[in-house]
């Protein structure tokens, strides 16, 4: 009973927040609604018993990714209204619904054909975090390490892209000055 | 009233449709990134739900890797956006015509 109430409440809240995110014309509203939607999504993970995933969702998405977006928005002119594409509304809605249904069919096809076997079944009397640790560091150790290297590469790329030439403004310089700067030293 | 796997899959469908509509509709690249985050999160919900209802932790593992990929995507993408904004002063998709796409 409580599960149903929680599911419908958070489903409504998440859909409302993400709807605001894609329809609003203010970038700041979109950012705030997206952060709220991320928090509400973590509630589903807690309902589903995936405690560790819910905590990671809050820490990584709402803590790190949203802070990064907020930091990035300081660079951009976000006070003006965002211009929108003027496309055919029916084509947009139809195409996105069709693709979403296709994704669900891809997910549901193995279930319908009864082809799903639990590869790493849940062990009784062990918490979710324990199980995640056991499986992550035995069966998924190499993807875990590759993900670590990927995050390192992304960090280096972010520093190189955003941090170079912080002392000069590329928007205020003319093309000749940028050319001169490029010849002097390799520019990003 | 029992909440089953289908409820979660329907929710995931709705969120995916919202995110995809945002990707098609948005012209500002920052807001297009927001829409891609919605796509990744909706798939994460489907993975966690299947993982719960089939008693298998593989779905949660893949959700973790998706979160890691999303984090690195944001870092690199935002760096590129900052470089583009420094050079051109806006981040609209319409102005990115240097490849004549």
Instruction: Determine how many CB atoms are found less than 10 A away from the CB of residue A178.
Output: 16
**Cα–Cα nearest to B82, from B30, B27, B31:** B30
Q: How much is the pLDDT for A89?
A: 78
Decide if A95 is inside a domain.
Answer: no
Asked if residue A79 and residue A9 are part of one domain, the reply reads yes
- Chain A contact for B68, CB < 8 A? yes
C-alpha span between B76 and B36 (Å, rounded): 14
Which residues are paired to A169 by β-bridges? none
Chain B residue with the nearest C-alpha to that of A169:
B86
Last residue of a domain, one of A35, A50, A83: A83
Residues in A touching B15 (Cβ below 8 Å): 14-15, 18
User: CA A108 to CA A89: how far, in whole Å?
Assistant: 29
- The pLDDT score that the predictor gives to residue A152 is 94
B96 has a chain A CB within 8 A of its CB: no
Assigned domain for A133 exists = no
User: pTM of the predicted model, to two decimals?
Assistant: 0.83
Q: How far is A183 from chain B (nearest CA, A)?
A: 17
CATH value at residue A78: 1.20.120.1200
Helices A2-23 and B29-53 sit at what angle, rounded to 10 degrees? Answer: 160
Instruction: Judge whether A126 lies within some domain.
Output: no
Alpha-carbon separation of residue A184 from A179, B4, B49 (angstroms): 9, 63, 55
Taking an 8 Å cut-off on Cβ atoms, the answer to whether A188 and B83 are in contact is yes
DSSP A127: -
Per CB-CB distance under 8 Å, the chain A contacts of B43 are 103
DSSP string, A141-187: HHHHHHHHHHHHHHHHHHHHHHHTTTTS-TTTS-HHHHHHHHHHS--
Contact B68 A150 (CB under 8 A): yes
Task: Among A39, A64, A83, give the residue marking a domain's end.
Answer: A83
Chunk chain B into consecutive blocks of 10 residues (it has 101) and report each block's average pLDDT, rounded to whole numbers: 84 90 85 91 91 86 92 89 81 75 55
Separation of alpha carbons A156 and A142, rounded Å: 21
* Contact at CB, B56 and A52, closer than 8 angstroms: no
**Alpha carbons A50 and A52: distance in angstroms, whole number:** 6
Q: What is the pLDDT of residue A33?
A: 93
Which positions in chain B touch A135 (Cβ < 8 Å)? Answer: 57, 61
| Domain containing residue A25 | 1-83
Q: How far apart are CA B34 and CA B46, in angstroms?
A: 19
Report CB contact under 8 Å: B41, A87. Answer: no
Report d(CA A72, CA A64) in Å as an integer: 12
Where are the alpha helices (H) located in chain A, listed in sequence order?
2-23, 27-47, 51-56, 66-73, 89-112, 128-136, 141-163, 175-184
| Domain assignment of residue A161, yes or no | yes
How many angstroms separate the CA atoms of B6 and B45, rounded?
A: 12
Domain boundary residue, one of A83, A107, A126: A83
Q: How does pLDDT run across B50-70, given as a tens digit for each residue?
A: 888 888 888 889 999 999 999
The answer to whether B84 faces chain A, any CB pair under 8 Å, is no
Give the closest residue to A158 by CA, choosing from A65, A44, A95: A65
pLDDT of residue A188: 46
- Whether A122 contacts B58, CB under 8 Å: no
Q: Would A101 be classed as within a structural domain?
A: no
Tens digit of pLDDT at every position of chain A (188 positions): 888 899 999 999 999 999 999 888 888 889 999 999 999 999 999 998 888 999 999 999 888 888 888 888 877 766 666 666 666 778 888 888 888 888 778 877 877 777 667 676 667 677 778 888 888 888 889 999 999 999 999 999 888 887 766 666 666 677 777 777 766 655 44
Q: What per-residue confidence (pLDDT) applies to A76?
A: 75
* Partner-chain contact B19 A136, CB within 8 Å: no
Tokens 């944001």 belong to B74
Going from the N-terminus, what domains does chain B have, and what CATH number goes with each?
A: 5-92 (1.10.287.3510)
Domain count along chain A: 2
């Amino acid at each position: 009973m409580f599960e149903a109430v929680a599911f419908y409440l958070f489903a409504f809240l998440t859909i409302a927040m993400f709807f605001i995110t894609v329809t609003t014309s203010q970038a700041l509203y979109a950012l705030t609604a997206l952060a709220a939607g991320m928090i509400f999504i973590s509630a589903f993970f807690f309902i589903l018993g995936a405690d560790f995933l819910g905590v990671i969702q809050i820490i990584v998405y709402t803590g790190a990714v949203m802070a990064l977006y907020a930091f990035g928005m300081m660079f951009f002119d976000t006070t003006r209204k965002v211009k929108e594409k003027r496309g055919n509304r029916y084509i947009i809605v139809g195409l996105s619904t069709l693709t979403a249904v296709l994704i669900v069919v891809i997910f549901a096809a193995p279930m319908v054909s009864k082809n799903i076997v639990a590869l790493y079944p849940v062990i009784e009397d062990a918490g979710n975090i324990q199980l995640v640790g056991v499986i992550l560091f035995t069966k998924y150790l190499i993807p875990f390490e590759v993900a670590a290297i990927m995050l390192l590469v992304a960090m280096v790329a972010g520093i190189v892209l955003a941090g170079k030439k912080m002392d000069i403004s590329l928007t205020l310089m003319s093309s000749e000055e940028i050319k001169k700067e490029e010849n002097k030293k390799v520019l990003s | 009233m029992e909440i089953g796997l289908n409820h979660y899959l329907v929710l995931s469908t709705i969120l995916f449709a919202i995110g995809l509509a945002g990707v098609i509709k948005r012209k500002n690249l920052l807001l297009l990134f927001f829409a891609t985050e919605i796509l990744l999160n909706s798939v994460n919900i489907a993975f966690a739900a299947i993982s719960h209802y089939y008693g298998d932790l593989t779905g949660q593992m893949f959700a973790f890797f998706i979160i890691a990929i999303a984090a690195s995507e944001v870092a690199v993408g935002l760096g590129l956006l900052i470089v583009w904004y420094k050079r051109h002063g806006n981040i609209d998709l319409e102005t990115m015509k240097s490849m004549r796409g």
